[in-house]
Amino acid sequence: MQNVFFRFSDQESSCDFIGFDQAVSILRAELNYPEERALHFVKRFDHNKDGKLSVAEFRQFKGKIEET
């Protein structure tokens, strides 16, 4: 699946995190998630509650998305 969401993982070496807004936008655009569901899902993976997904948090997030 070549799309915006999965391209972030290719850029991990140059990015330290992905913001909530960006992650929510990707879920809405790529997977047609409603905004509230997307935000809820993103927040579940922000383990340190800093308002963004680190590379490690993103990997867990991406793995869960790939399962759905």
What CATH number does residue 45 fall under?
A: 1.10.238.10
28 vs 24: CA distance, rounded Å: 6
Domain count, the chain: 1
Residue 39: the pLDDT is 92
Tens-digit pLDDT profile for residues 1-50: 335 445 555 454 456 788 888 888 888 888 888 999 989 988 998 999 99
> Residue 65 is encoded by which pair of tokens?
């998305």
Measured between alpha carbons, how far is 59 from 45 in angstroms, rounded to an integer?
A: 10
Q: Could you tell me the residue range of the domain that residue 27 belongs to?
A: 4-67
Q: What pTM, to 2 d.p., does this model score?
A: 0.65
